[in-house]
């Protein structure tokens, strides 16, 4: 009896050692898997959550199909360059590029920018579109003649001032869902959440400089 016990006890540690090392490799694999998944989740989710923590909270809410159609109506008889301020997944930029605009989007969320580039490539308009990972408050929009924004009420007064300072007189600004607080719109279409307002700087009496500039280029006033 004691001999049998002695044999059993000498065999036991060898088996435990093999099982233990197998268990610890599985443990490491699971830890690496869970850790990797958490890091990936953090990297994807953070850019969507951080806008809510900024002074002006501007979350990603994509434009509805009706909203996009209203924006396109406001762009009829217009041409040149276009910018969507906070371009999200690029749907407005891409829709405008399909209508022949050189369209640009500025967006803080890198995932949305990469996705927008992919969508533009998939829809065959990548040559007429550009997407930048940028903070809208740190960019000048002076070179654009058509400006689209789907903002939030808290940011509109500050953005109104910024655009007033930067844009040329022939610019048209199109606001989706929330209008600018001081400007008087030249045209309004749609209703409810799909409402869109258009503001033409040269017709805006709040811009005396623009009035002067548009007079300067008319032939009658040159003589
Ligand atoms: C209401 S969504 C509009 C998206 C798109 N323009 C559309 O109509 O479908 C606003 C977008 O602005 C982006 N955004 C928020 N803060 C920003 C900032 N400081 N600079 C640039 N983009 C910003 C958000 O990530 C979001 O995608």
Tell how far the Cα of 90 is from the centroid of ligand 1, in angstroms: 10
User: Of 7-16, 33-42, 49-58, 182-191, which range is least confident?
Assistant: 7-16
Nearest to 177 by CA among 147, 148, 202: 148
> Residues 131, 104: contact at Cβ < 8 Å?
yes
Element (H, E) at 196: strand 196-200
- Could you tell me the sign of the dihedral formed by the alpha carbons of 77, 180, 117, 143, in that order? positive
Mean pLDDT of the chain: 85
Tell how far the Cα of 170 is from the centroid of ligand 1, in angstroms: 25
Q: What is the dihedral of CA 140, 142, 146, 149, to 10 degrees?
A: 30
Alpha-carbon span 144 to 101, nearest angstrom: 11
Nearest ligand 1 atom, CA 149: 6
25 pLDDT higher than 90: no
Alpha-carbon span 183 to 202, nearest angstrom: 12
Q: Mind listing the pLDDT tens digit for each residue in 200-212?
A: 987 454 555 554 3
Tell how far CA 32 is from the center of its chain.
32
Q: Which two tokens stand for residue 185?
A: 């719109």
More confident residue, 221 or 125: 125
| Minimal-distance CA residue to ligand 1 atom 16 | 58
| Ligand 1 pocket at CB < 6 A | 51, 58, 60-63, 84, 86-88, 91-92, 106-109, 112, 135-137, 150
Cβ neighbours for 186, distance < 8 A, ≥ 6 positions apart: 198, 199, 200, 203, 204
Mean pLDDT of 171-197: 97
CA 61 to each of CA 57, 76, 91, 112, 150: distance values in angstroms, whole numbers, following the listed order: 12, 25, 11, 12, 9
| Minimal-distance CA residue to ligand 1 atom 11 | 86
Alpha-carbon span 65 to 75, nearest angstrom: 15
| Minimal-distance CA residue to ligand 1 atom 27 | 88
């Amino acid at each position: 009896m004691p001999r049998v016990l002695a044999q059993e006890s000498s065999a036991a540690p060898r088996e435990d050692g093999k099982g233990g090392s197998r268990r610890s490799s599985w443990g490491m694999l699971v830890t690496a898997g869970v850790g990797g998944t958490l890091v990936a989740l953090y990297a994807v989710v953070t850019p969507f959550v951080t806008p809510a923590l900024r002074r002006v909270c501007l979350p990603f809410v994509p434009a509805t199909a009706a909203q996009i159609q209203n924006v396109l109506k406001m762009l009829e008889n217009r041409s040149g360059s276009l910018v969507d301020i906070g371009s999200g997944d690029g749907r407005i930029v891409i829709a405008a590029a399909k209508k022949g605009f050189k369209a640009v989007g500025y967006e803080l969320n890198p995932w949305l920018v990469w996705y927008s580039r992919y969508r533009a490539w998939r829809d065959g308009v990548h040559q007429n579109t550009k997407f930048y990972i940028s903070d809208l408050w740190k960019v000048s929009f002076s070179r654009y003649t058509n400006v689209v924004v789907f903002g939030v009420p808290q940011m509109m007064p500050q953005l109104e001032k910024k655009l007033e300072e930067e844009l040329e007189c022939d610019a048209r600004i199109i606001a989706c869902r929330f209008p600018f607080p001081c400007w008087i719109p030249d045209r309004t279409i749609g209703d409810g959440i799909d409402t869109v307002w258009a503001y033409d700087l040269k017709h805006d009496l709040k811009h005396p400089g623009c009035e002067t500039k548009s007079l300067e280029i008319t032939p009658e006033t040159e003589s």
